[in-house]
Chains A and B, each alone.
Chain A
């Protein structure tokens, strides 16, 4: 189910993606690449917490 925390994770991904695109189109390619690698990191962060929640819930059953 889509929750508020998921919304914030996706917002963070969107912001970093937009900043990366902005930097790339302004010729600052190194900085753009640096910002772009935040995107998968944030997604992994979100997946980790989701997974931890599922494991925790299963353990309590």
Chain B
């Protein structure tokens, strides 16, 4: 059960950076999943007999709140970002960029180095830049959404 939970989490994590985050499990890890003694977090090459696999260290918290360091062996392909995840992350960056640009334009326009956002869109059109900003923020929220 715990193995399946960890495997599902790792399958969706899809990036090494995300794998480093702590994964909470509600059951103890069986001997099959635990490999070796506590060590530093990170991904490293396993023994040569397991070519094509990578070893991922985890910091796992159980229901009692205590932490256990463990490592599991995964196919190296599982550690690569999936296409869906890369597209989702790109959408997130696009949204964050658009929102950031509009916010910067708002601030710079208010300080007068550049034409104000309100001058370009018109005073009554403040809803338009606000709507674009909010839409971009929601895109970013979807893009950076993690289960």
Contacts and interface: CB of A to CB of B under 8 A. Distances in A.
Contact of A5 (B5, B126, B145): B145
B126 A23 contact: yes
A8 B95 contact: yes
B134 interface: yes
Nearest to B134: A12
B79 interface: no
Contacts of A6: 141
A11 to B, nearest CB: 5
Q: Name the prevailing secondary structure of the A interface residues.
A: helix
B147 A57 contact: yes
Interface in A40-61: 42, 45-46, 49, 53, 56-57, 60-61
Contacts of B1: 61
Contact of A8 (B4, B140, B146): B140
Interface of A: 3-6, 8-9, 11-12, 15-16, 19, 22-23, 28, 31, 34-35, 38, 42, 45-46, 49, 53, 56-57, 60-61
A46 B141 contact: yes
Interface string B39-68: 000000000000000000000000000000
B130, B133, B140, B144: most-surrounded residue (chain A CB, <10 A): B130
B147 A9 contact: no
A8 B138 contact: yes
Contacts of B138: 8-9, 12, 42, 45
B133 A15 contact: yes
Nearest to B145: A5
Interface in B1-27: 1, 4-5, 8
